Structure 1
Amino acid sequence: MLIDGFVRLGEQKVAVKRINTSPNNSETFIEPIALIESAISCRSDVVNFDVLKCYGLSKLPNTNSYLIITELCKYDLWKHLEQNFGNLDCIILNKERPQTDRRNVFVPDCYKELMEQCWDDNPSNRPNINQLYEILRG
């Protein structure tokens, strides 16, 4: 059920984002701002990266657009970007990445390896969307 732009699943609120499709998915499927958003902490702490939980992807049959369902972040990411864009440049250029070995978060080894492949400096070494689909479908 959609309420105020949020989907209600019991007592949990999630965010639903539409991903526009185009013949060139590299331009619209994952825009640079989406990559930056996914690395920002919900607690507004850029140094201590957190990753938003992704609950799933869905495809709208009438428009062929995709929906991504993520945990609801109560922090205004756009405002954070405006205030800290210079810091984000430094973080990205210094290749800082979310920690996958924190005590309070379990990340299976297969996902750690996949994340590291996606972070490869050489874009041709990164999996494309079809490869990601096959790996995650696995």
Structure 2
Amino acid sequence: MNTADRLIEALRAAGIATGDAQAHVGSEPLTGRYCVIWQVLERAGENTVADPNTDRIVDLQITSVGPSRRAADQVAEAAGAVALGPLPPPDGRTWMGAPEYVVGNPTSRETPSDPAHPEAPVWSRADIYRYYLTPL
């Protein structure tokens, strides 16, 4: 399991409906209050000259969604507590420091995309968290 898998597993264990890079769990669409995990970036950390690509820095985005601004913010706060809390490390690696909250976008409203089939407005907020990894 990689870092995104570990975060998804922890969010679901905390009772937060979570999608893996899509607003679905299997073939079922998520509705109401949920979040979606996206891997934004993975890059090599600062290592020795002999082995410069050993450590990894992984940025994951949590997009929190709700039927209102308050609901989206509540999902984001709950997901953030999980993201910054203790997680099992990814396979073959261990944590090299605490995770960090990097940046977030303000909660915003998304209007329905198809005027012929109006839907209730959806609110969302995107926050990025950074994880530092090193081999076992």
Under a length normalisation based on structure 1, what TM-score does the superposition of the two structures give? 0.32
Q: Which has the higher helix share?
A: 1
Query: Which structure exhibits the higher relative contact order, with contacts defined as CA atoms closer than 8 Å and separated by 6 or more residues?
Result: 2
Under a length normalisation based on structure 2, what TM-score does the superposition of the two structures give? 0.32
